[in-house]
Amino acid sequence: MASPCDWPEPVVRVQSVSESGSSTIPDRYIKPPSDRPSPNLSPPDINIPLIDLAGLTDGDLAVREATMKEISAACREWGFFQVVNHGLRAELVDRAREIWREFFHESMEVKQRYANSPKTYEGYGSRLGLQKGAILDWSDYYFLHYLPSSLKDHNKWPHQPSSLREVVEEYSKEIVRLGNVLLKVFSKNLGLRHDYLQNAFGGEDIGACLRVNFYPKCPQPDLTLGLSSHSDPGGITFLLPDENVCGLQVCRGQQWITVRPVPHGIIVNIGDQIQVISNAIYKSVEHRVVVNPNKERVSLAYFYNPKSDLLIQPAPELITPETPSLYPSMTFDEYRLFIRTRGPQGKSQVESLKSQK
């Protein structure tokens, strides 16, 4: 077993493999047939719910209530929805995505200065997990911490392009604001006090970290995935997709639904910690990413998480004789360790907590 300070094999940048111009992909990216994408099976006329958040502050009570209901249904039935009028300026959203695209198009020498290790994952990376000989995903990424402030280290953020840090600061502040708003909405929709989830997450001491995913063009997209199927371990994820390139697929029943992004929209999904606190009223749903032969894709996944050392458990108000508690109490740190010890399972991990009760 490799030390957690080292990757088990030499790191290969997927972008370099893609740019080599080969018409076939190396074996280490070829998924077993059952995990490969089946592009024709996604129904073209279904999309995740689209919600206009302007409705939350509308002067008309009926509009506010209707918006709350739409969010409630999306959290219960989909675990995913897309929001517009979320308060982030369109220019900021575009700038955030494009500045990261510029970073991935810097020279390899520049990017390699930020090469990450499995100890913290911060920096420029090309694999998740430490299993030697694992089949890898067709993506590179950049991972950084914003909150808690004790983990934020600007030296670990790229210094090129020169305005990247400033843009990431502003974008992060706005995402945290949006996260605080949605925690209130979710609390009220669950019939809890308006500040229940914010307190359960540690008040102001939440965690927030960003993974920017870069999916290079892939000559054999039918054989691989940009990101294998997973559910998100944290609280809420805010995903800024590439507007012009589809790739995200959400599992619904037995089907994979391809998400079609709307201009300047942000995709919101429920993470495992909210599934636990809501005692599975809200669902943390599996998703994956497919890649494209002609277009690269950039996405920003912002993870809004509970403070890592607080116990997370189903809200006592939601426990009844008919709906007994489904999950044991566990801190987010312990949960992450539980997941890392089990290794990637290609599916939601929170369900396996039930057997720990």
Ligand X SMILES: O=C(O)CCC(=O)C(=O)O
Provide the binding-site residues for ligand X, judged by CB under 6 A. 211, 213, 227, 232, 239, 241, 247-248, 287, 289, 299, 301
Cα separation values, 87 from 5, 138, 342, Å: 40, 33, 39
Of 147 and 239, nearer to ligand X (C-beta) is 239
Q: Residue 125's closest CA among 43, 42, 62, 212?
A: 212
Instruction: Provide DSSP, 118-150.
Output: TTT--EEES--S--TTPPPPS-EEEEEEEESGG
| Least distance to ligand X, CB of residue 258, Å | 11
* Angle at CA of residue 266, ends 260 and 271, nearest 5°: 100
Task: For residue 17, give the amino acid letter.
Answer: V
| Least distance to ligand X, CB of residue 298, Å | 8
Of 143 and 157, nearer to ligand X (C-beta) is 143
The span from the CA of 100 to the CA of 279, in Å, is 37
| Least distance to ligand X, CB of residue 348, Å | 13
Task: For residue 136, give the amino acid letter.
Answer: L
Task: For residue 135, give the amino acid letter.
Answer: I
Of 196 and 332, nearer to ligand X (C-beta) is 332
| Least distance to ligand X, CB of residue 301, Å | 3
Of 100 and 196, nearer to ligand X (C-beta) is 100
H-helix or E-strand spanning residue 336: helix 332-342
**All residues at 6 or more sequence positions from 24 whose CB lies less than 8 Å from its CB, including other chains:** 219, 220
| Least distance to ligand X, CB of residue 3, Å | 26
Of 145 and 190, nearer to ligand X (C-beta) is 145
| Least distance to ligand X, CB of residue 141, Å | 7
Three-state DSSP state, 272: helix
| Least distance to ligand X, CB of residue 288, Å | 8
Instruction: Provide DSSP, 10-74.
Output: ----HHHHHHTT-SS--GGGPPPGGGS--GGGS-TT----EEEGGGGG-S-HHHHHHHHHHHHHH
Of 114 and 196, nearer to ligand X (C-beta) is 114
Of 172 and 213, nearer to ligand X (C-beta) is 213
Of 7 and 215, nearer to ligand X (C-beta) is 215
| Residue 351 DSSP symbol | G
H-helix or E-strand spanning residue 237: strand 236-240
| Least distance to ligand X, CB of residue 232, Å | 6
